Amino acid sequence: MASEPAASKARVLLVEDTLSLATLYGASLTQAGLPVDHVATGKEALEHLETGAYQVVLLDLQLPDINGFEVMRSLRERGIDVTTVVVTGQGSVVTAVEAMRRGAYDFLVKPVAAERMITTVRNAQERAMLQRTVEDLSPEIGTAGFFGFIGRSMIMRSVYRMIESVSKSRATVFITGESGTGKEVCADAIHRGGPRRDKPFIAINCAAIPRDLIESEVFGHIKGSFTGAIADRDGAAALADGGTLFLDEICEMDTALQSKLLRFLQTGRIQPVGSSEHKTVDVRVICATNRDPAQEVAAGRFREDLFYRLHVLPIHLPPLRERSGDVIDIATHFLHVYAREERKAFMSLSTEAQELLMSQPWPGNVRELQNVVRNAVVLNDGEVVTSAMLSLSGPNGDAAAGGAAGRTGSLCRPLTCPPMSTAPFPRPIVRPPRTADLRSRCPWACRCRRWNAP
């Protein structure tokens, strides 16, 4: 194999210190039409990658000089843009998961099947090409919106490009991201941008449905299959026939149902609860989670075979703190929406309000920002939202407002109520009924010794 980097950006750099494995991997990639260069140490890898000649690096974590984590850290510090696929030894899945947390695109566990390696490298190359062509998107996309998304930062343009690409496919999509980043918006965008746009889009939140009912919600049931099943009912999979089934918070799904979902993905057939018959449906499955799916697999809470069946086209939605340049666009959008809804005159955000919004960490992401803007519109009047109108208290009270609290005072503006009186309540005057009145109300008065007493 060549030792000098080539000029083509489509090349793969293989970093592997075991010569026999490097020869085997290199031959498999070359036969698949993927040009590859090989180095044996982390230092050599950094020297080659600095040339910018590679889209993908296959990085062994155990190297003779520096480990793979140090190589990844150096790549970040030097600003080298390359898609990393880590290769780890058998039993080192936890280490590989940590590598993904540090920015790796995917991981492979030794011994690596040739087909698996080739597929992973090609997917990584596709991701790299999408990231490097995001500048082709219209710069006005943040203002106009993209299927419900607002923002024109570079990282979001990469997401838009990925959505455009996967929308044309029938393969399953796995969306990851923190709560409030817009995972259902992303799933809906994929559906609306693809050939199934005129068919149903059915969403199920696996975390919001009791475990004993989730199977019925997904696959349906027949009359009498359980208490309360008074009629046959189609599940989400049948209702989405021809369209898209979105399974939100997929990692919350019970392991017993995970096996049934895997069977459905393999066969395309569903079996309603209580029924012995199967029905074939044509649906595209999109799933999402706010957890780290690879870590859930490593912990044994999510089936590994189901993960690989679902994790065909991964999309990660960045948290709002990583796209701070979009905060004002998003806030202005919601300001106009809620001003119309509440019939208010608000038109813009003051400079101080913009600075305050930009300085926040937004742990609740877009959903939190949306609620802050709505709160300001509902509780205030005017044409410009000022910093004093923004309620930014979080779990730690005013501390969530950061340094801005010193400028604007308490940013949490609770509704005020009239002071409560401390005077004692007057004692009610109780007048006991007269005996004659009680006697007249008692149907047994004529036989009651109490009433007949002298």
> Locate tokens 């965008």: which residue?
189
Fold: same for 135-317 and 321-408 = no
Coil, strand or helix at 108: strand
Q: Contact 368/413 with Cβ under 8 angstroms?
A: no
Per the CB < 8 A criterion, the answer to whether 393 and 374 are in contact is no
Residues of the chain scoring pLDDT < 70: 1-9, 90-94, 96-97, 100-101, 130-145, 393-454
Q: Are 265 and 283 in contact (CB under 8 A)?
A: no
Where does 11-112 sit in CATH, by number?
3.40.50.2300
DSSP single-letter state for residue 167: H
Give the β-pairing of 269-270 and 384-385: unpaired
DSSP secondary structure string for all residues of 202-228: EEEETTSS-HHHHHHHHH-B-TTSSTT
Return the pLDDT at 130. 61
Q: Is 54 exposed, middle or buried (0-12, 13-18, 19+ CB in 10 A)?
A: buried
Confidence (pLDDT) at 123 = 83
Q: What is the phi/psi pair of residue 284, to 5°?
A: -100, 130
**What residue ranges in 292-402 does DSSP mark as E strands?**
313-316, 348-349, 384-385
- Give the pLDDT confidence score for residue 440 in this predicted structure: 52
Residue with tokens 């947390």: 101
- For the four alpha carbons of 44, 50, 53 and 54, in that order, the dihedral sign comes to positive
Give per-residue burial for 192-212: e unless 16+ CB within 10 Å, then b. Answer: bbbebeebebbbbebeebeee
Size of the chain in residues: 454
For domain 135-317, which architecture applies?
3-Layer(aba) Sandwich (3.40)
| CATH, range 321-408 | 1.10.8.60
* Domain residue extents for the chain: 11-112, 135-317, 321-408
* b/e sequence 264-296, b meaning 16+ C-beta within 10 Å: beeeeebbbbeeeeebebebbbbbbbbbebbbb
Judged by DSSP in three states, 217 sits in helix
d(CA 208, CA 211): 9
pLDDT on residue 132: 58
Instruction: Please state, in angstroms and rounded to a whole number, the distance separating the CA atoms of residues 389 and 372.
Output: 9
Can you spell out the DSSP letters for 41-96?
SHHHHHHHHTTT-EEEEEEES--SSS-HHHHHHHHHHHT---EEEEEE-TT-HHHH
Confirm if 381 and 349 have CB atoms less than 8 A apart.
no
Instruction: Report d(CA 48, CA 7) in Å as an integer.
Output: 11
Between CA 107 and CA 100 the distance in angstroms is: 7
Report yes or no on whether pTM surpasses 0.85: no
pLDDT at residue 68, rounded to an integer: 87
Tracing tokens 């969403």 back to the chain, one arrives at 203
User: What is the pLDDT, as a whole number, of residue 405?
Assistant: 38
